[in-house]
Structure formats: C-alpha cells, structure tokens
Amino acid sequence: MANALGTVSFWILSAVIIFSALMVVISRNIVHSILWLVVTFLGTAGIYLMLDALFLAAVQVLVYAGAVCIMVVFGVMLTRRGNIRHSNLFNSRLIIAAPLVGLILSAAAYLTAASTDNVPLSDGKVPADTVGSIGQWLLSSYVIPFETAAILLLVALIGAVFLAREVKTDDRH
C-alpha cells in the first residue's frame, strides 16, 4: 500500500517537474517562465523528500525556489525593455536544433534501454540526523571543495559590489 502510494507520488511529481520545465521554455512571457521554474524546483524538492533527504529538500526550497528565482526576477525587472509579454523570444533555427535534439534524446533512450547494468542501491537505512553528518563531511573530507566554493562566492560578491558601486561624478571639471 505504502509502496504503491510512493510510486504514484513519484509519477505525479515527475509529471509536474517535466511539464513545468517545458513551460519554462515555452512561455512567451519571461515572468511566467520564472514562476514555472519555481514549480520545477518545488517538484524536485518533493523528489528529495521521497528519498528521505529532508535537509536537501529544505535547501532546495530555500536556495532555489526562494532565492535564485527572486534573483532572476530582480534581474528581469531591472533590465527589461519594451513589452514584457513578449520578452522570452524564440528564434527560427528550429530546423537545425530539432533533429539534433531528437538524435541525442533517442541515443540516450536507446542506451538506457540497452543497458543491463544495475545501479547499486544502498540498503542501509537513512540516519535520523542527516544534518550533523553533512556538516561533519563538509568540514573534514570535503573541506577543500567547500572552501573553494566559498572563495568563488566571495569573488562574485566583490565583483557585484564593484559593478554596482556608485559612479562618482565630479561637477567641478
């Protein structure tokens, strides 16, 4: 019973994610695109929840749905020109793009179907306290990638401050 429910929720979530991701691309209005992107992120958080990764799901909601989308909104609103209802433009290179994408997709589908490898699944139970172990791993085995990411963010921060700082105009000259 619980298993069947899990399968049903997985399919519903997948459908929501794929449909909203498609709408991100198709929407003519870039604001609608962003809002569909929020739905995509929330659906992904749902998948994490089904995998018992509570912390990861919350991070997904906080960082992606809550913060990244808002940043995109800011970018769009502060830099937009003209009519926002036709802000998400299409180009006419469909003839080139469609066969290429179709080829890649069908190749991927064929390889998936032909593959006989089984992905190893961990049969261990999910620990109750995942946050503590994530923190411990981040500051022990993965401390170098973690610090590198921090430095990268710092560089981005300084760059943003530099770009957005006030331009001083001197009227005396």
Partner 1 sequence: MENIFVNISGSIRELIGVLGLPPLFNEAVMITVKVTGILLFIVLNALWLVYMERKVAGYIQCRYGPNRVGPKGLLQTAADISKLISKEIIIPSGADKILFLLAPVLIFTPPLMVFMVVPFGQNMAAVDLNIGVFYFLAVASLSTVIFWIAGWASNNKYSLLGGMRVVAQMISYELPMVLAVLGVVMITGTLNMSDIVRAQENLWFIFAQPVAFLIYFIAGVAECNRVPFDLTEGESEIVAGPFTEYSGMGFALFFLAEYTNVMLVSFMAATLFLGGWLAPFGLTIIPGWAWMLIKVYIMIFLFMWLRWTYPRVRVDQLMGFGWKVLVPLSLANIFITGVAIKVLDKMGW
Q: What is the DSSP letter of 75?
A: H
Interaction between residue 138 and partner 1 (CB under 8 A): no
Q: Which is nearer to partner 1, 165 or 173 (CB)?
A: 165
Question: CA-to-CA distance for 106 and 21, rounded, in angstroms?
Answer: 19
Interaction between residue 70 and partner 1 (CB under 8 A): yes
Interaction between residue 48 and partner 1 (CB under 8 A): no
- Residue 10 near residue 47 (C-beta atoms within 8 A): yes
Cβ partners under 8 Å of residue 126, min gap 6: 52, 53
Interaction between residue 149 and partner 1 (CB under 8 A): no
In this chain, which stretch among 18-26, 69-77, 109-117, 143-151 interacts with partner 1, using CB under 8 A? 69-77
- Residue 69 near residue 34 (C-beta atoms within 8 A): yes
Residue 3 CA to its chain's centroid (Å): 28
Interaction between residue 2 and partner 1 (CB under 8 A): yes
Q: Which is nearer to partner 1, 132 or 159 (CB)?
A: 132
Interaction between residue 65 and partner 1 (CB under 8 A): yes
- Residue of 97, 105, 131, 160 that binds partner 1 (CB under 8 A): 131
